[in-house]
Structure 1
């Protein structure tokens, strides 16, 4: 094991998903898998021993939830960061996970590109923090940015509105139009479209064009 690598522990009860995520991790430079577990009790016991720097934690396990595990880790001050992996898309669950300090939230099913992006962001921010004795405001902003979309908003765009739109996208299982999302989050279509197009420009959102028989094509949006 490369001693400079970030150590990773995976908690996942589905053998196939565990296999896929382990394979994804093997394709990444700078990370070493130090353990896996398929239930919460065993995961907590192993994590206390190996003390991984990063835990990829599934939300739904046979004996307890990922949030219960995350709560126990925080109460016992286990110095591990957590990326939550789950099929849950509801706003309340996501907010609760973020409040307990998860550095990212990946919604199943996801492609390698999304997995890679999450771990790359984590690698860059942790390596940068470790090289600095004192943090400047921009360093702190970079670090905390890993728990959100992590981009600076231009004048005219509001952070709270952006968060509502991003959470609205997270809840979607399929790509959605600006009009559909506007109805979901209770905003004007023109407002939602402006934020979505900005996110697409920053490569945080994918745009798919659907062509009908007549008229202009319809844009469908989904988070990358």
Structure 2
């Protein structure tokens, strides 16, 4: 099963910052921006009208608190994923975000890579949910939560030999098979589940060892294909 592009709503009081974030999001395969809101009222209205899959939520808004907006959005039917982007680092804000079920909390200012790592994790988890097995067990649940974790910052992107053994196995299998491989194909080659392959591919993508390509078929829904970026 393939996933459609992730519709993203950006909420930030600063028009320029919102445009920068839009540029970041649009650079990533599998995401597209459906709207930008600059007030709490606009965020609530656009979230209800546009039904985004993902909301990048600022906290300091001219007419309200972004976390209050997030609370309303997350309590709605079929709520989106919410990722906080804010300069706020006080424990009350962070604790509230966790309690609300925010998947990541990114402190401003940040660069493209920091946001890309978190969005890649969200995209991988979303793909795993779309392919959720009927006989799911604890390992499937663990792998889903693991997908939302970021790779260790000290992992050397240029040295594959320093990676964990299974990551090396996935990478070497891709090197032997060529480019444009799906998670299912890699899983079959390595002898692991598709969800596990998806998680490892997300980690390899986050450190720049593989790249994701979207291929569109007759249905218009993109198929995720992965290729080696360095040897």
CA distance in structure 2 between the aligned counterparts of 1:202 and 1:92, rounded to whole angstroms:
31
2:11, 2:55 within 8 Å by CA — same for their partners in 1? yes
- For the Cα contact (< 8 Å) 2:57–2:66, is it kept in 1? yes
Q: Give 1:53's aligned residue.
A: 53
C-alpha contact 2:56 2:83 (8 A) present in aligned 1: yes
The answer to whether the 8 Å contact 1:7/1:33 transfers is yes
Q: Conserved in 2, the CA contact under 8 Å of 1:129 and 1:139?
A: no
> Given the two structures, how large is their TM-score scaled by the length of structure 2?
0.61
Higher relative contact order (CA 8 A, sep 6+): 2
- 1:49-92, CA deviations, whole angstroms, 9 ceiling, x for partnerless residues? 11101000001100111110011113333521100000011223
Quote how far apart the aligned CAs of 1:146 are: 5.5
Count of aligned residue pairs for this structure pair: 154
Rounded to whole Å, the distance in 1 between the matches of 2:139 and 2:150 is 12
Given the superposition, is the C-alpha separation of residues 200 and 123 from structure 1 closer, same or farther in structure 2, using an over 3 Å criterion? closer
| CA distance in 1 between partners of 2:5 and 2:116 (Å) | 15
Deviation at 1:21, TM superposition (A): 0.2
Aligned-partner Cα distance in 1 for 2:18–2:28: 16
Work out whether 1:137 is the aligned partner of 2:131.
Answer: no
Which structure 1 segments of 5+ residues have no match?
A: 152-198, 204-224
The whole-number CA distance in structure 1 between the counterparts of 2:82 and 2:96 is 13
Partner of 1:90: 90
**Secondary structure at the counterpart of residue 76 of structure 1:** coil
* Unmatched runs of 5 consecutive residues or more in structure 2: 157-231
Distance 2:99 2:146 in 1: 14
> 74-83 vs 22-31, which deviates more?
74-83
Equivalent residue number for residue 161 of structure 1: none
- Structure 1 partner of 2:103: 103
Give the 5 Å matches for 1:10-29. Answer: 10-29=10-29
8 Å CA contact 2:84, 2:104 repeated in 1: yes
Contact 1:59 1:67 in 2 (8 A): yes
Between the aligned partners of 2:65 and 2:145, the Cα distance in structure 1 is 25
Report if aligned partners of 1:142, 1:150 keep a CA contact under 8 Å in 2.
no
* TM-score, structure 1 as length reference: 0.63
Q: Deviations over 1:157-200 (max 9, x none)?
A: xxxxxxxxxxxxxxxxxxxxxxxxxxxxxxxxxxxxxxxxxx55
Structure 2 CA distance for partners of 1:200 and 1:4, relative to 1, 3 Å: closer
What RMSD in Å do the two structures reach over aligned CA positions? 2.2
